Structure formats: C-alpha cells, structure tokens
Amino acid sequence: MELIIDNLTKTYANGVQALNGVSLTIPQGMFGLLGPNGAGKSTLMRTIATLQDADGGTIRLGEIDVLKSHEAVRRQLGYLPQEFGVYPRVSAEVMLDHIARLKGLANRSERQQAVEALLQKVNLWAARKRNLGTYSGGMKQRFGIAQALLGNPKLLIVDEPTAGLDPAERNRFYNLLSEIGESTIVILSTHIVEDVQTLCKRFAIICGGEVMYVGTPHEAVTMLDGKIWAKSIPKNEVDAYRADYRVIATNLSEGLLYIRIASENDPGNGFAKVKPTLEDVYFRAISEKMDLVTL
C-alpha cells in the first residue's frame, strides 16, 4: 500500500498559502517530513488525517480517496499530533481501554488483549496502573503511540514526536518507531534533522508550503559533496559574508563565528572544503526558498 499525494493546495482565510502544489508518493516504512515551524507540515498532516479539507489536489491511501472517504481513512489511521492531552488522574491501562472502546473494540477479552499487547510494545506495562499525570514526557509520548496503534492502522502519522525528549527517551522512541515502520506507512513530521537521519529511508523537505527535495538521506548528502565550505570569522563580519556568499549555517564558539556556505566552486578567501551533512542539505534548501520569497 502507498499514500499518494498529488498537487495538494491549501490557502487559509487570512491569505496564508500553507500548501502549494504538494506531491509525494510515500511507501510502507518510515518517511520523514522535514521543515521549519510554519512550513506547512502540520497542515499537510491534518489534511491527510481528515481533520481539515484541502482546496485542491488529491490524496489516495491504496484504493481510498482520502479527501472524500473520511470514515474509511480513519479506520486505517493512527495519529499522534504534536500536542495531545491526557486525563492526569486516569491510569494508562484504563485510558487505553476507553480509547479502544471508542475505536470499536467492543469485546472485553479482545480489548484487554489489545491493551496489554500495546502497553508491552511501548514498554509501559510496568507503569500501567500509574496515573498519566505522573508520566514523564517520553512516557506520555509512548502512551500516545500506543493509542495511535489501536486497531492496527495501515498509516501512522506522528507530528514532532521527539521535541522536548531527553536523549535516552529519544533513543527509546527511535527504536519503537523503527519497529513500527517495518509493517506500516509511518509519516514522521519534524524539524529535527537527527530524527530523519536516524529513522527514515526516504524523506522530503518542505518550506513555505512547497516540496524542496525528495529522496534518501544518503542521496541528499552525496548531492552536496564538494559543495560545502567553512571558515571561522569575527562575529561582527557575518553580514558582510552573507552579502557575498550563500551562508547556510552559523555556530558561535569562543568569540568566533564558524560559518558554512554552499558554493559550486572554490570560494577562496580562506574557506576550506568540508564533508556535507544532512543539516547542510536542509539549510541549503531552506535558504533557497527564503531567497525566492525575498525576490
């Protein structure tokens, strides 16, 4: 099964064009959607999840017309939004049982088996009796994945799932999503490049409502081989360098500003060629979009 998005558009009443001709083909496995805040990622996720309508274009999940058959999509969908609430005085076990009822698992025995299996899967079985209000941020995210997986969805959407997690919880979440992606279409919407580098076989960069790149992380980095240059400068000279070069990233350390630029040819002026990273791919794509907006 594939998710096929074709020429999707959305403009809000205030005139903001959130999606501008977005086209993507997303197969089974982990697919990253990388972009800054306000890029259109959440609009795209909500549209796929049937929470809002598009102005134009089509989305198909296998044989299902997503924009016309909301109920059919929702039976195949698991969704973890960027922000979701929990009842702080209800245990994980009770809350998941309640959500299972809402998703149509009427048989008590089947429901109990499903709840236990999911709590085991997300490593929350030992904490199943604890109220959700006592959970850490990472535990709440894993509970969110458990509720999204009820009903064995064919499509799972997770929006900024690792924001605010400590390194240990982020690693647990990576392992969990990787396992899920073996048998499900998983769309990971994030602005954290490491999430995509670690998890996704394919990804897209979206900015200003448009797709700037689609491919694999390896292909993306290889594309910039020999085109990224770096040097340290006094921080008060950065504006002059921005005027003369395509500065894609800066990092301040011990009073000096370490800058990275994109250039097809040797820029001279003390710049040294450096190995490109996925962050370079991301920032270069975003900077190109910003230049177009400025023009």
pTM for this one? 0.87
Which CATH superfamily, name and number, covers 3-215? P-loop containing nucleotide triphosphate hydrolases (3.40.50.300)
Q: Is residue 53 exposed (0-12), middle (13-18) or buried (19+ Cβ within 10 Å)?
A: exposed
Residues 6+ apart with CB under 8 A from 146: 92, 96, 118, 119, 121, 122, 124
Local confidence pLDDT in tens for the 295 residues of the chain: 899 999 999 999 999 999 999 999 999 999 999 998 888 998 999 999 999 999 999 999 999 999 999 999 998 999 988 777 788 999 999 999 999 998 888 899 999 999 999 999 888 999 999 999 999 888 888 899 899 988 889 999 998 888 777 888 888 888 888 888 888 999 999 888 988 998 899 999 999 999 999 999 999 999 999 999 999 999 889 999 999 999 999 988 877 899 999 999 999 999 999 999 999 999 999 887 765 333 2
Distance CA 208, CA 239 (A): 24
Q: Where in the chain is the domain with CATH 3.40.50.300?
A: 3-215
Report which of 66, 67, 52 is spatially closest to residue 13, judged by C-alpha positions. Answer: 52
Lookup: tokens for 16: 């903001």
